[in-house]
Structure 1
Amino acid sequence: MEFFKGDKIYNFMGKRLPFLGFSTILVVTSIVLLLTKGVNFGIDFAGGTLVQVKYEKAAPIDKIRDILNKTKEYKNSSITKFGSDDEIIIRVTTSTNSVSSDLSDEIRNVLKGTGNFEIRRVDIVGPKVGGELREKGLMAFVLSLIVIMIYVSFRFEWRFALASILALVHDVTIALGAVSLFGIEVNLDILAAVLTLLGYSLNDTIIVFDRIREGVQTSKESDLSKVVNESVSRTLSRTTLTSLTTFFVVATLYFFGGEIINGFAFTLLVGIIVGTYSSIFIAASFLVQLKFSIEDFRTKEVEKIKKQKEKEKMRAMFEQGTV
């Protein structure tokens, strides 16, 4: 199935500067959001206590907030709805010994005058553990970028590797900017979504770069922009189909998967849209901007083939006993 005509070549590189300008605005805006507004760390990274409470009727949030503010251990707690009016999340910034191990019983006693309810979940993370999780999460992200760059450097020429890393940073920065803009709680699920996004975006970029390299090797064209236009046009239907099928699955998770995975699904949704956009319009544009030389690449390929033939000739002579 093809959405686009197989023989039609689209002039993507002719419009690369407007697309790069648009992406620059998105990236800069995302960085400003991350530096000014920051991200809303969940208890996985910030530490604290989270309690999920389910009421038979709509939860009296104002009454609950007044009661908790009168209790020393739960003063200044954050109370938010969790998917529906009858379910709430109580977040407490402390996880010290002032919060007893029988937290469920303590919450029941504190809220006993607010109606009929059940406590569905209690999560407690110490500030030290939260700090360690933040550090390990950042380390996982940085190591992923390093391993990806090493892998692409071995598989492609170094400009391809640098262009793919720039595209990945572009995708992740915009995704994190959206997380900051909408106040999505950043926890281990969001970290998993970001790492998933790295793999998804890289996969799309590698397919496009493979086609570009193939075009450079087989085409007689010496203009990189024309080779890129043809290669991206040839992979356009595949990229669109892959992105749409993935988008529909993640959209289903977002709308019907429940509040608990909304942040994960939202991050992936943004990532799929941005990753598809960057695979088509941005990654190859970086390659052109980095002045990748078709002539130098073809010269190196000829030298590589020549050396390979010499090795095969020497091996054959050795096997025949003439060396």
Structure 2
Amino acid sequence: MEIFNHNANVNFLGMRKFSVGIAILLMVASIALIAVKSLNYGLDFTGGVSLVMDYDQPVQVGDVRDALEKGGMEHAVVQSMGGTKEVSIRLQPKDDPQSGVANGGKVNLDKIADDVTKTLQAARPDAKLKSRDYVGSAVGEELRSDGIVAAIVVMLGIGLYLGIRFEWRFAVAAIATEAHDALVTVGIFALTQREFDLTVLASVLAVIGYSINDKVVVFDRVRELFRLARKAEPEEILNRSINNTLSRTIITALFTGITMAALYFFGGPAVHGFAITMLIGILVGTLSSIFVASPILLWLGVSKQDLMPKTKENPELARRP
């Protein structure tokens, strides 16, 4: 199945200055957004109390937020849970025995949940507590640092494999584009201030794995065409490789995107973060596979000699006439 001509000759490499310039700009902008605005870390990373409230009748998120503010619980994050009768409430308890937090920092989850329930029931008697949870900040900081280390290890591991399987230039191109894909994806979260939790972190790692799959397909075609061509310029080989694999790249991205869209619309709020991150990552990764990875290979000076099988010299053959 092909949606593009296998032998098309679109000059993707001719746009390399423009495409790589945009990629660098997006990376710099993402780093700036993460540094300035930071990420809207969820309770998995910051610690705090999370409650889910059920109502017998439909309720507005704004009404729940107003009731909490009137009860002295300011800055609570209230979100709909995908319906009109269930809401999620996240808040940071103050270091005050009256609010359920002792001076030592120990949280009385029962008291906090009871206070929230009574406050909401004062405004709406049909409010009922469905679930509650607490995450400590120390655990969240450890998870955050472990997540960063995991992403770096994944990219370096992929680079090491490609360096062994292909050639070091492919490893450099892969690591550079993987860093681009991960940074831009996370940068969009910093820009939109969507909640960044463990589910989103897991999907960022999944984006790295998905994205490298596209790039390896293109890289493999590059190696194959270099070995088959007697005389061909590297730019021509790279362009042909992208054109040959373009249908496969777009079809894979399209159907994976459809799956993630279905997960977002029908999978419930628990997987919204994962689905949104994957959709962003699929788009960014597909574009970088087409417009960024091959230009980096070209600038690194990849050639046919780098990809031909290496033969060992035989001293016995050298002595023969």
- Go from structure 1 to structure 2 and tell me whether the alpha carbon gap of 1:112 and 1:277 turns closer, same or farther (over 3 Å shift): same
Give the % identical residues: 36
Residues 81, 87 of structure 1: 8 Å contact kept: yes
The 3-state SS of whatever aligns with 2:123 is coil
Query: Residue 275 of structure 2 is aligned with which of 265, 287, 292?
Result: 265
Tell me if 1:136 matches 2:120. Answer: no
Residues 60, 114 of structure 1: 8 Å contact kept: no
1:150 counterpart residue number: 160
Q: Distance in 1 between matches of 2:315 and 2:244?
A: 36
Tell me if 1:36 matches 2:36. Answer: yes
Residues 277-292 of structure 1: pairs in structure 2 closer than 5 A: 277-292=287-302
1:100 counterpart residue number: 109
- Go from structure 1 to structure 2 and tell me whether the alpha carbon gap of 1:100 and 1:229 turns closer, same or farther (over 3 Å shift): closer
Tell me if 1:219 matches 2:229. Answer: yes
1:58-102 CA-to-partner distances (Å, cap 9, x unmatched) read 436556445544657x45433333334433222122374343346
256-265 or 207-216, which deviates more: 256-265
TM-score (norm 1): 0.86
1:14 counterpart residue number: 14
1:26 counterpart residue number: 26
1:198-242 CA-to-partner distances (Å, cap 9, x unmatched) read 100011111110110111111113411000011111111111111
Displacement of 1:19:
1.1
Q: Distance in 2 between matches of 1:239 and 1:125?
A: 41
Q: Distance in 2 between matches of 1:149 and 1:159?
A: 10
Residues 50, 90 of structure 1: 8 Å contact kept: yes
Query: Residue 184 of structure 1 is aligned with which of 194, 198, 210?
Result: 194
Residues 1-323 of structure 1: pairs in structure 2 closer than 5 A: 1-59=1-59, 61=61, 64-65=64-65, 67-69=67-69, 74-94=73-93, 96-101=105-110, 104-115=113-124, 116-295=126-305, 297=306, 301=308, 304-307=310-313, 310=314
Q: Distance in 1 between matches of 2:57 and 2:193?
A: 27
Residues 47, 137 of structure 2: 8 Å contact kept: yes
Residues 40, 185 of structure 1: 8 Å contact kept: yes
Query: Which segments of 5 or more consecutive residues in structure 2 lack a partner in the other structure?
Result: 94-100
- Go from structure 1 to structure 2 and tell me whether the alpha carbon gap of 1:118 and 1:168 turns closer, same or farther (over 3 Å shift): same
Tell me how large the CA RMSD over aligned residues is.
Answer: 2.4
Q: Distance in 2 between matches of 1:178 and 1:18?
A: 21
Q: Distance in 1 between matches of 2:61 and 2:247?
A: 50
1:81-124 CA-to-partner distances (Å, cap 9, x unmatched) read 33344332221223743433465444323322122123233221
Q: Distance in 2 between matches of 1:51 and 1:22?
A: 42
Letter aligned with residue 4 of structure 1: F
- Go from structure 1 to structure 2 and tell me whether the alpha carbon gap of 1:62 and 1:257 turns closer, same or farther (over 3 Å shift): closer
Query: Which segments of 5 or more consecutive residues in structure 1 lack a partner in the other structure?
Result: 314-323
29-38 or 260-269, which deviates more: 29-38
Q: Distance in 2 between matches of 1:100 and 1:270?
A: 36
Q: Distance in 1 between matches of 2:224 and 2:258?
A: 31
1:228-282 CA-to-partner distances (Å, cap 9, x unmatched) read 0111111111111111110110011122222221111111001001111111111
Displacement of 1:125:
0.3
1:317 counterpart residue number: none
Q: Distance in 2 between matches of 1:245 and 1:156?
A: 28
Displacement of 1:48:
0.8
The 3-state SS of whatever aligns with 2:52 is strand
The 3-state SS of whatever aligns with 2:3 is coil
Q: Distance in 2 between matches of 1:228 and 1:104?
A: 60
Q: Distance in 2 between matches of 1:278 and 1:51?
A: 40
Residues 52, 87 of structure 1: 8 Å contact kept: yes
How many residue pairs end up in the alignment? Answer: 306
